[in-house]
Amino acid sequence: MAVEQQADRVAAVPDVTLVELLTVAQRRVARGVGAVLAEDGATLDGYRVMRCLAASPGRSMGELGAALSLPAPTVTRLVDGLVDTAAAYRLPDPGDGRRVRVHLSARGRSRLLRLEGLVRAHESAFAATLGAERVQALVTALAAVQPGD
């Protein structure tokens, strides 16, 4: 659907709110990226976990859940899936033997590179449709909203 048609549809909704706009946008983007990742057998949440582990290795399950705004059972399921495919591994926490830390494996890093290429291509197509300046303004605005605010 063209950007103008989408804008017309939103304008037709009385009292459209920021919450509604963000929800619709998030779902559309997630659906598109999810479809691209599914072609490689990945999920959006699994991809997000891998990115989080690559950015800060050795995260606890609780840290992953907090960083990704995911419930503990979902994080456990996602990490179990990554461990089952040797994309990640668990090690005991050096400071607390009752806890584990999750690390991205070399295989996981290779897979993440492939998935990031797919996501970048999807984002580029999205930017071409919406306009690079608009996408950059959106990224800048959303980046200013910190978790917990």
In this prediction, residue 4 carries a pLDDT of 57
In this prediction, residue 149 carries a pLDDT of 42
In this prediction, residue 16 carries a pLDDT of 85
In this prediction, residue 2 carries a pLDDT of 53
In this prediction, residue 8 carries a pLDDT of 57
Residue 36 structure tokens: 């691209």
In this prediction, residue 89 carries a pLDDT of 97
The rounded average pLDDT for each run of 10 residues, N- to C-terminus, in the chain (149 residues) is: 55 77 90 95 97 94 95 97 97 90 97 97 90 90 74
In this prediction, residue 15 carries a pLDDT of 81
Q: How far apart are CA 49 and CA 138, in angstroms?
A: 23
- Structural domains in the chain, CATH included, are 33-142 (1.10.10.10)
